[in-house]
């Protein structure tokens, strides 16, 4: 019984790590966008960097998900890798669904 509980906790830990990573990634991109628009106020395309990151978070999150999975594989934390992959897929599905809703509203 203890092994099963530990496995579920590790999967949840993987999902939580992807969620926290996504939040931190968006915060960093937002700060970079704010700094860039403050330094270069005449360039009007800089906020689109942040918008692109929101739209393409499924792709951008691979910047930390792949190294995280490789590190967890080296540590032999396979349950946590499963959670990371589940969190990654959930993020991509939610992002895709929200993108389709926004796209349908615009057109």
Please, which pLDDT band fits residue 15 given cuts at 50, 70 and 90?
very high
Q: Which one is predicted more confidently, 20 or 47?
A: 20
- Burial (Cβ within 10 Å: 0-12, 13-18, ≥19) of residue 38: exposed
Task: Give the residue numbers spanning the domain of 65.
Answer: 2-106
Separation between Cα atoms, residue 3 and residue 9, nearest integer Å: 10
Token readout for 26 is 């968006």
Please, which pLDDT band fits residue 9 given cuts at 50, 70 and 90?
very high
Helix (H, G, I), strand (E, B) or coil at 59: helix
Separation between Cα atoms, residue 25 and residue 14, nearest integer Å: 16
pLDDT tens digits for range 26-38: 888 788 777 777 7
The reported pLDDT for the residue numbered 44 is 64
Distances (CA, A) of 92 to 2, 34, 85, 95: 32, 25, 11, 5
Number of domains in the chain: 1
The reported pLDDT for the residue numbered 100 is 80
Q: Which one is predicted more confidently, 25 or 81?
A: 81
The reported pLDDT for the residue numbered 64 is 87
The reported pLDDT for the residue numbered 22 is 87
User: Strand runs (DSSP E) across 1-107, as ranges?
Assistant: none
Residue 2 has pLDDT above 60, yes or no: no
């Amino acid at each position: 019984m203890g092994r099963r509980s530990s496995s579920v906790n590790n999967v949840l830990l993987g999902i939580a790590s992807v969620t926290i990573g996504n939040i931190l990634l968006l915060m960093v991109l937002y700060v970079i966008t704010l700094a860039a628009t403050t330094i270069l106020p005449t360039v009007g395309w800089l906020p689109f960097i942040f918008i692109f990151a929101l739209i393409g978070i499924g792709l951008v999150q691979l910047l930390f998900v792949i190294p995280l999975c490789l590190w967890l594989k080296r540590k032999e934390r396979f349950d946590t890798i499963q959670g990371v992959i589940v969190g990654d897929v959930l993020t991509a599905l939610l992002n895709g669904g929200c993108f389709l809703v926004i796209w349908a509203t615009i057109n």
